């Protein structure tokens, strides 16, 4: 982190009371979001240091801040956690067309965070083109988590499987899945081996057993959660999948 080049003025650099090495040492040791927030209020130097060194941002309410403000405040983000609709959505108390569309955020992130690696969404609306756009806009993308999101389709999961060559985590929980096709698992490239977490335990759709078995065999560190899928397998398929999983644990 080159803080000297990122000070707001020559005077600020000249009269800075804290050496860059001190700021870096302090910030590296801070893992708590609250602690980093407190540090940013110490003085302007510490504000700038925290601003440029932050790589993860948590946004508990997508209505509380605009994506433009986020990218201005934190220029070097690699990981974003974003929550949308309020929790009482689970009780059908949120009116239709309430918002929380992820696509405008992705457009801003694509221009400002080209090295984004991780996106975790909860109660957001996923439009038809959102995951397709994500899969082709961030070449280093590694982790996608979708929890209680709307509009997710297996066609979009197909785009993630096809284009995200470095994917290590795909976590799909409690989402309303449209277009329940099972071919998306077969779209991971034949040489794809990086996946470490695959969770579709709550996904009520067809799944290609053959594609899943091949994926498990290739990804040696994979932790798999399939929910009711194992209940739908034939005896022979169940034994084969168990054998593959057992071989990975050895």
Q: What is the DSSP letter of 101?
A: B
Q: Where are the domains of the chain?
A: 1-53, 55-249
Computed over every residue of the chain, the mean pLDDT equals 80
Decide: helix, strand or coil at residue 7: coil
Per-residue pLDDT tens over the stretch 122-164: 999 997 789 999 999 999 999 999 998 888 888 888 999 999 9
Residue with tokens 């899943």: 212
In this prediction, residue 41 carries a pLDDT of: 86
**Residue 125: count of CB within 10 angstroms of its CB:** 20
Structural contact between residues 190 and 198, judged by C-beta atoms closer than 8 angstroms: no
In this prediction, residue 163 carries a pLDDT of: 94
Q: Which residues contact 39 (CB under 8 A, 6 or more apart)?
A: 26, 27, 30, 46, 50
**Residue 87: count of CB within 10 angstroms of its CB:** 12
Q: Which residues contact 183 (CB under 8 A, 6 or more apart)?
A: 154, 158, 208, 211
The enclosing H or E element of 70 equals helix 67-73
In this prediction, residue 47 carries a pLDDT of: 87
**Residue 216: count of CB within 10 angstroms of its CB:** 18
In this prediction, residue 5 carries a pLDDT of: 44
Segment 214-228 mean pLDDT:
81
Q: Flag whether pLDDT at 234 surpasses 50.
A: no
User: What one-character-per-residue DSSP string does 147-202 give?
Assistant: ES-BSEEHHHHHHHHHH-TT--EEEEES--EES--SGGGGGS-TT-----EEE-TT
**CA separation for the pair 90, 191 (Å, rounded):** 40
In this prediction, residue 176 carries a pLDDT of: 66
In this prediction, residue 18 carries a pLDDT of: 67
Segment 166-191 mean pLDDT:
82
Domain 55-249 fold is: 3.80.10
In this prediction, residue 235 carries a pLDDT of: 44
Tokens of 246: 């057992």
Q: Which residues contact 144 (CB under 8 A, 6 or more apart)?
A: 118, 119, 120, 131, 134, 160, 164, 167, 169, 170, 171
Q: Flag whether pLDDT at 216 surpasses 50.
A: yes
Per-residue pLDDT tens over the stretch 97-125: 677 899 999 999 999 999 999 999 999 99
Q: Flag whether pLDDT at 230 surpasses 50.
A: yes
Claim: this prediction has a pTM higher than 0.85: no
Q: What is the DSSP letter of 125?
A: B
Task: Tell me which of 1.20.1280.50, 3.40.50.2300, 3.40.1190.20, 3.30.70.240 is the CATH number of domain 1-53.
Answer: 1.20.1280.50
Alpha-carbon distance values, 238 to 63, 192, 231 (Å): 45, 23, 9
> Is there a common fold for 1-53 and 55-249?
no
Per-residue pLDDT tens over the stretch 49-91: 888 888 999 999 999 999 999 999 999 999 999 998 877 666 6
Of the chain, the percentage scoring pLDDT greater than 70 comes to 73
In this prediction, residue 162 carries a pLDDT of: 93
């Amino acid at each position: 982190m080159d803080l000297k080049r990122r000070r707001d003025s020559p005077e600020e650099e000249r009269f800075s009371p804290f050496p860059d090495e001190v700021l870096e040492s302090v910030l590296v040791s801070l893992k708590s979001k609250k602690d980093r927030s407190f540090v940013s209020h110490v003085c302007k130097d510490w504000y700038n240091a925290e601003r440029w060194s932050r790589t993860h941002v948590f946004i508990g309410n997508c209505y509380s801040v605009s994506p433009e403000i986020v990218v201005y405040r934190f220029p070097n983000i690699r990981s974003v956690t974003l929550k949308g609709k309020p929790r009482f959505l689970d009780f059908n108390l949120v009116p239709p067309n309430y918002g929380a569309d992820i696509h405008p955020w992705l457009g801003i992130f694509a221009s400002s965070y080209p090295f984004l690696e991780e996106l975790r969404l909860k109660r957001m609306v996923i439009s038809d083109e959102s995951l397709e756009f994500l899969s082709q806009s961030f070449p280093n993308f590694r982790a996608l988590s979708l929890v209680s999101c709307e509009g997710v389709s297996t066609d979009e999961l197909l785009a993630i499987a096809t284009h995200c060559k470095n994917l290590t985590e795909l976590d799909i929980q409690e989402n309303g899945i449209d277009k329940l096709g099972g071919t998306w698992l077969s779209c991971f490239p034949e040489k794809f081996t990086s996946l470490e977490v695959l969770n579709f335990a709550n996904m009520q759709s067809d799944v290609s057993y053959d594609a899943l078995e091949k994926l498990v065999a290739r990804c040696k560190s994979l932790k798999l959660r399939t929910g009711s899928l194992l209940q739908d397998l034939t005896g022979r398929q169940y034994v084969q999948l168990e054998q593959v999983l057992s071989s990975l644990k050895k």
